[in-house]
């Protein structure tokens, strides 16, 4: 996994999925640190049975709170970059953004307000693969330009 957003949830937090209770939030915090943590271990840490943890996780998956379980690769194994994407005037297209999001090396795409139209978070095995991905983005209809920065290190 390339980028993770901070888990800003707290006890009783209401969202489009309903209300998360304190136990749900604690389960999410544990899984965010280690997505492979066995449910039995999570249950022991929280005073729950394995089945109770499994049911809560399944419900959070069904509600779309948990989208996927993934791995985080070593920073030495991959090249991470942020690509700022500028569209032709009036050409911001949800179809184009979706095409970018579906590209092999794209981790996340954000549509923005302001001068920059979108940002793509890219993970590649090497600079050549990163260049190929950026070239694919530039070839899409409506894309005026890209500006890409390679991430040297993650502070937090």
- Token pair, residue 98, equals 């979706």
Residues 6+ apart with CB under 8 A from 75: 153, 154
- Give me the residue label for tokens 């209809």: 141
Closest by Cα among 121, 35, 34, 32 to 79: 121
Residue 146 and residue 85 in contact, taking contact as beta carbons nearer than 8 Å = yes
Domains of the chain: 1-72 (1.10.10.10), 79-150 (3.30.70.920)
What is the chain's pLDDT, residue by residue, as a tens digit (156 residues)? 344 434 444 444 445 546 688 999 899 989 988 888 999 999 999 999 999 999 999 998 888 888 887 766 565 568 899 999 999 887 667 889 999 999 999 999 999 998 999 999 999 988 999 999 999 999 999 999 999 999 988 887
- Token pair, residue 19, equals 């209300």
pTM recorded for the entire structure: 0.56
| HSE-CB for 130 with a 13 A CA cutoff | 20
């Amino acid at each position: 996994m390339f980028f993770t957003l901070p888990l800003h949830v707290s006890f009783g937090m209401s969202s489009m999925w309903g209300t998360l209770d304190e136990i749900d939030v604690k389960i999410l915090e544990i899984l965010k640190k280690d997505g492979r943590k066995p449910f039995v271990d999570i249950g022991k840490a929280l005073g729950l049975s394995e089945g109770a943890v499994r049911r809560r996780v399944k419900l959070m998956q069904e509600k779309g709170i948990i989208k996927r379980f993934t791995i985080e690769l070593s920073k030495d194994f991959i090249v991470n970059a942020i690509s700022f994407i500028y569209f032709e005037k009036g050409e911001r297209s949800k179809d184009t953004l979706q095409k970018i999001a579906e590209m092999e090396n794209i981790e996340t795409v954000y549509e923005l307000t302001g001068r920059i139209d979108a940002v793509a978070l890219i993970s590649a095995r090497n600079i050549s693969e990163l260049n190929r991905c950026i070239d694919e983005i530039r070839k899409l209809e409506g894309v005026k330009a890209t500006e890409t920065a390679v991430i040297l290190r993650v502070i937090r």
